Amino acid sequence: MKLKTVIIDDEPLAVDIIKNYCDTVAHIEVLQCFTNPVEAMNFINANSVDLIFLDIEMPLLSGLEFIDTLKYKPQFIFTTAYPQFAINGFEMEAVDYLIKPISYIRFLKSVNKVKLPESDKPTVIQQQTVVTTTTEDNFLFVKSDSENLKIFITDIKFIEGLKDYLKINLTNGKHVLTLSNFKNLMERLPEKTFIRVHNSYIVNLNYVNSVQRNRVVIDATRIPISESYKKQFFERIKI
């Protein structure tokens, strides 16, 4: 399942920036974008919404007032050019608070804090079916921001390319962003379990639920198989 998302900001350019960022995240589906908070309120009260990106300073209704009008409050992330509102935002249990101009990496960190639907979380059975690797392939360190994070290889479900970054998706529903490239990372992963299926994707075969004609499915994520990697992939899985 994807996070059904609504973007609300009275500045069309700000809406476009958040929308473009959201389009790069596989588990986010933008339902509607609004520059008028009243129209957005009517839509959200009438539809199932999981996440809202919400500007605080808007005409008619501020973002803080807007949240109080909703019958059901989805998860929400405040966006604003005024950091002095941050305390009020967190008191309302916002997931996060993004200060404009919003960088892509800061956006991704914010999205990583959003709780996924229960059906998107890995089950115990999925964790038990993982093929073990040799001791020397048991883990790797990747640089994320100012620290080197230890990641167990069996915890990696798939890896996605996002411009200059790689997004390493893990079994706990979280992900790690690292400034690296596919070639360097592939050299550190065991060949028997990891395979490139697209210019933008590496998958761990242990977590592939099904294989379709032009894509693989890992949980609710559908990952394309490109023509340049199709032959290699199907030879590996012997279909």
Range of the domain at 112: 3-116
The CA distances from residue 112 to 12, 128, 173, 174, 202, in Å, are 25, 25, 9, 6, 20
**Do both 222 and 199 map to the same domain?**
yes
Picking from 134, 210, 130, 224, the residue whose alpha carbon sits closest to that of residue 170 is 130
- The span from the CA of 201 to the CA of 209, in Å, is 16
- The span from the CA of 139 to the CA of 136, in Å, is 8
pLDDT digits (tens, 9 = 90+) for 163-209: 778 999 999 989 999 888 898 888 889 888 899 999 999 999 999 99
Q: Name the DSSP class of 26.
A: T
pLDDT digits (tens, 9 = 90+) for 93-145: 889 889 888 888 889 989 988 987 654 443 333 333 333 333 345 888 888 87
Which of these three, 85, 116, 147, is where a domain ends?
116
pLDDT surpasses 80 at 239: no
Q: Is residue 72 part of a domain?
A: yes
| Strands 165-170 and 51-55, sheet pairing | unpaired
**Do both 111 and 137 map to the same domain?**
no
Which of these three, 57, 91, 116, is where a domain ends?
116
**Do both 25 and 48 map to the same domain?**
yes
pLDDT surpasses 90 at 236: no
Q: Is residue 122 part of a domain?
A: no
- The span from the CA of 106 to the CA of 87, in Å, is 18
Q: Name the DSSP class of 104.
A: H
Token pair 């920036």 is at which residue?
A: 17
Picking from 105, 116, 90, 107, the residue whose alpha carbon sits closest to that of residue 53 is 107
Q: Other C-beta atoms within 10 Å of 213: how many? A: 6
Q: Is residue 121 part of a domain?
A: no
**Do both 141 and 215 map to the same domain?**
yes
The domain tally of the chain equals 2
- The span from the CA of 79 to the CA of 102, in Å, is 8
Q: Is residue 124 part of a domain?
A: no
**Do both 59 and 144 map to the same domain?**
no
Which of these three, 116, 147, 182, is where a domain ends?
116
The domain spanning residue 136 has which CATH number?
A: 2.40.50.1020
The domain spanning residue 109 has which CATH number?
A: 3.40.50.2300
Q: What is the pLDDT of residue 224?
A: 94
**Do both 151 and 233 map to the same domain?**
yes
**Do both 32 and 101 map to the same domain?**
yes
**Do both 94 and 12 map to the same domain?**
yes
